[in-house]
Amino acid sequence: MTDHPHPEQSAVVRQWSDAFGRLATRAVQTIAVLLVVGLTLWAMAYLGVVFIPVVLALIISSAVFPLMRWLRARGMSSLLATWLVLFSAFAVVGGLLTAIVQAVRSQWSDLVSSAQDGFDELLVLLEDLPFEVDPAQLDDAKQSAIDFVTSSQFGSGAVAGLSATGTFFTGFFLTLIITFFFMKDGPAIWEFLLRPLDGQYYDRARRIGDRSVRTMGDYIRGTATVAAVDALGIGLGLAFLQVPLALPLAVIVFLTAFIPLVGATLAGFLAALVALVDGGIWPALAVVGIVIVVNQLEGNFLQPKIMGKTLSLHPLVILIGLTAGTIIGGIVGAVLSVPIAAVAWGILQVWDGPDQPAAFIAKKPREERLDNELEVSH
Q: What is the DSSP string of 275-311?
A: HHHHH-HHHHHHHHHHHHHHHHHIIIIIHHHHHTTTT
| Cα 26 to Cα 13, 21, 34, 40, 61, distances in angstroms | 16, 9, 12, 21, 40
Asked if 121 and 277 touch (Cβ cutoff 8 Å), the reply is yes
| pLDDT (tens digit per residue) in 284-305 | 788 888 888 887 777 677 766 6
Query: Is the per-residue pLDDT at 317 higher than 70?
Result: yes
| pLDDT (tens digit per residue) in 103-160 | 666 666 666 666 666 666 666 655 555 555 555 655 665 555 555 544 444 444 444 4
What would the mean pLDDT of 359-368 be, rounded to a whole number?
Answer: 70
pLDDT bucket at 336, cuts 50 / 70 / 90: confident
| pLDDT (tens digit per residue) in 23-60 | 888 888 889 988 987 888 787 777 777 888 888 888 88
Q: Residue 77: exposed, middle, or buried by beta-carbon count in 10 A (0-12, 13-18, 19+)?
A: exposed
pLDDT of residue 83: 92
What is the Cα 236 distance to its own chain's centre? 26
What would the mean pLDDT of 330-357 be, rounded to a whole number?
Answer: 81
Largest CA distance in the chain: 95
Q: Which SS3 state, helix, strand or coil, does residue 3 take? A: coil
pLDDT of residue 159: 46
Q: Which SS3 state, helix, strand or coil, does residue 356 take? A: strand
Asked if 259 and 334 touch (Cβ cutoff 8 Å), the reply is yes
pLDDT of residue 74: 87
Considering Cα of 106, then 107, then 113, then 115, what sign does the dihedral take? negative
| pLDDT (tens digit per residue) in 15-24 | 666 777 778 8
| pLDDT (tens digit per residue) in 182-241 | 998 888 899 999 999 888 889 999 999 888 888 888 888 888 888 888 888 888 888 888
pLDDT bucket at 367, cuts 50 / 70 / 90: low
Q: Which residue has the higher pLDDT, 135 or 314?
A: 314
Residue 263, strand partner residues: none
Q: Which residue has the higher pLDDT, 137 or 87?
A: 87
Provide, rounded to the nearest whole percent, the portion of the chain with pLDDT above 70: 70
Please name the residues in contact with 66: beta carbons below 8 A apart, sequence gap of 6 or more.
217
Asked if 144 and 118 touch (Cβ cutoff 8 Å), the reply is no
Least confident span in 20-24, 94-98, 102-106, 373-377? 373-377
Q: Which SS3 state, helix, strand or coil, does residue 357 take? A: coil
pLDDT of residue 136: 60
pLDDT of residue 155: 44
Query: Is the per-residue pLDDT at 12 higher than 70?
Result: no
What would the mean pLDDT of 162-183 be, rounded to a whole number?
Answer: 74
pTM: 0.69
pLDDT of residue 152: 44
Candidate ranges 1-5, 41-45, 165-169, 283-287; pick with highest mean pLDDT: 283-287
pLDDT of residue 187: 86
Residue 246, strand partner residues: none
Asked if 22 and 306 touch (Cβ cutoff 8 Å), the reply is no
